[in-house]
Amino acid sequence: MASSVKGFAGAARIRQLKTRADLRAAERHGMRLDKSGKERSIRDAKALTRSGLDVVDLYDKHVEGLLVQKNTTLAMHILIQFPKVLVDEYDPDLMLDHAISFCRDVFGENSVFADRIDRDEKNQHVVDVFVAPTYVKVTKHTSRPATSSTRHLRALAEKHGEPTVPHGYGRALQTEFFEYLRDTMKLEGVRRGEKKVRPGPDHKLAEEQRIDELKDLKLGLKKETSKAREERSENLEREMDLDSREGELKRREAQLDDQALQQQNVVRELAEERRQLDRARDDLAANYKKAQQRHRTQESKADQLETRDAALLAREVEAEQRDAARREEENLLEERRLEVEKREKFAEAFEAGIHNIVTGELFYAEKPDGSFGLRTKSGRGSELAKLIAPALRKVREIARTISEHVTKQVEVKVSEEKGILESLQKAFKEAIERNRLFAESFRTAMATLDRDARKRALAEKAVREAAEATQAAETADAIEPNAGLSLAELEYLRRQQGRGR
């Protein structure tokens, strides 16, 4: 399980160099002359150092003139790892300088004799510092400088309240490095490393880490191999199924080829239709512009028609109505005169017949077949005339009654025609008002059409209707200058206004 402070905590570990062989091994490793050094190197990059890589010579120069007791640790190899998340791995100078500064704070100003930071390894955050702490050893008779590997660690353990034993030294060093990162380097979010959950060393060498990685790789390889075998078995089954489906796919491929040819033909036809539609759309746009121009012209005419003198139009309509009524009355009077003349001629003919009967010119006689008919004969007329005179007077009275009745009917008809003419006048005025309302609604529709091109179909319909209304208006303009309109012309104008509405 990964640590909760991984990447946010640093680490400082001590490796005791007890013999000169340990010093030579550390030197060979830094120069990449040993096996592990060669294995760890993954890129061609030289180590960064302030002192150099000759650890043995640097140690000899460092302890020259110092008391080095036998059977004691010669030096300490301090491995310092900076937090990977908080420190830039591409700034090795920063890490090297702070690692040297930390070791001098802990082990003394003259304790560091060698340093380096390897740039060819996978981990770029580790700094190697070699220290041999010194102090002045005072005896009863003398005092001289000497080296010590535990004197400064005991003081550090006492400072942090840890026991003066190796594991207490390690915990104290960890705490001191955490405080250095927090207080001196000012790293925000830095954490102290977690305490051990079991005794023993918790640091693994790079080789040990590589072995663990290889074990994980082998385990993953076994899983991948097992998975590959299962997939191979499934693939064999799929291959058999694919072989059985190959014939079907070939047949379908031939069908798809045929369909592709058909689709190509359809695509060509659709492309041709699209070109035709584009041309039709262009024509429609041109016609639409022309229709807009015509509409603006017609709208101007409609505005002029609306601004005409309403009183003059009303007087002209009334004059036409009076003329129509007069013509209708003349027609009715002519019909009545013809009817009266017809009655008078009938009465004269009837009187002449009676007179002929009275004078004896006409009389009824029996025919050979036994029926009766009129015959011409002289004599016996005066007596019959006296007898039929009352009947003739009665006939004249009946004729006058019929004539008076016909005259009354004519007068009633004339009155009805006047009512019809008044209704036509009212309908004509309503048609003019509807035409004005239509012009306003049409202007609103055209404004909406300008805002939204998708309503072109409605606009075209409105244009056609406006054309019909304009035709009616032009018809009215053509009729207006005339002094009189016939009833048929008024009826035609009313129908044209109804279509425009």
Per-residue pLDDT tens digits for 340-361: 788 777 667 666 766 776 666 6
Say if residue 481's pLDDT is above 50: no
Query: What is the arithmetic mean of pLDDT over 451-465?
Result: 75
Q: What is the mean pLDDT of residues 104-110?
A: 95
Which value, to the nearest 10 degrees, does the dihedral of the CA atoms of residues 57, 60, 64, 66 take?
A: 150
Residues 174 and 12: beta-carbon distance below 8 Å: yes
Query: What average pLDDT does this structure show over 426-431?
Result: 77
Whether residue 413 is predicted with pLDDT greater than 80 in this model: the reply is no
CATH (one of 3.40.50.300, 1.10.10.10, 3.40.309.10, 3.30.930.30) for 11-201 = 3.30.930.30
- Per-domain residue ranges for the chain? 11-201, 308-500
Tokens linked to 485: 């309109």
Residue 14 has φ and ψ, to the nearest 5°, of -115, 130
**Mean of per-residue pLDDT scores for the chain:** 80
What distance in Å separates the CA atoms of residue 272 and residue 276, rounded to the nearest whole number? 6
Tens digits of per-residue pLDDT, 182-241? 999 999 999 998 766 555 555 555 555 566 656 767 777 888 888 888 888 888 888 888
Residue 104 has pLDDT above 70, yes or no: yes
Cα 446 to chain centroid distance, Å, stands at 28
The answer on pLDDT for 380 being more than 50 is: no
Q: What is the pLDDT of residue 30?
A: 93
Amino acid 451: pLDDT:
76
- pLDDT value at 125 more than 90: yes
Q: Is the pLDDT of residue 142 over 80?
A: yes
Residues in the chain: 501
Give the percent of the chain with pLDDT over 90.
Answer: 33
Give whichever of 1-5, 169-173, 266-270, 479-483 has the largest mean pLDDT: 169-173
Q: What percent of the chain has pLDDT over 70?
A: 75
Q: 151 vs 299, which has greater pLDDT?
A: 151
Q: What is the pLDDT of residue 206?
A: 54
Residue 42, phi then psi, degrees to nearest 5:
-120, -5
Which pLDDT score, from 0 to 100, does residue 369 have?
76
Contact 8, 189 (CB under 8 A): yes
Arithmetic mean of pLDDT, 270-287? 88
Region 270-279 average pLDDT: 88
Most confident stretch, 108-112, 198-202, 265-269: 108-112
DSSP characters over 220-246: HHHHHHHHHHHHHHHHHHHHHHHHHHH
Q: At 379, is the pLDDT very low, low, confident or very high (cuts 50, 70, 90)?
A: very low
Q: Which residues contact 486 (CB under 8 A, 6 or more apart)?
A: 324
Task: Please name the residues in contact with 69: beta carbons below 8 A apart, sequence gap of 6 or more.
Answer: 146, 147
pLDDT at 136: 92
pLDDT confidence band for 322 (50 / 70 / 90): confident
pLDDT computed for residue 384 by the predictor: 47
Helix (H, G, I), strand (E, B) or coil at 113: strand
Which one is predicted more confidently, 307 or 138? 138
Q: What is the pLDDT of residue 17?
A: 96
Closest Cα to residue 435, out of 291, 288, 289, 298? 298
The per-residue pLDDT for 388 is 54
Torsion of CA 332, 335, 336, 342, to 10 degrees: 180
Average pLDDT over residues 266-287: 88
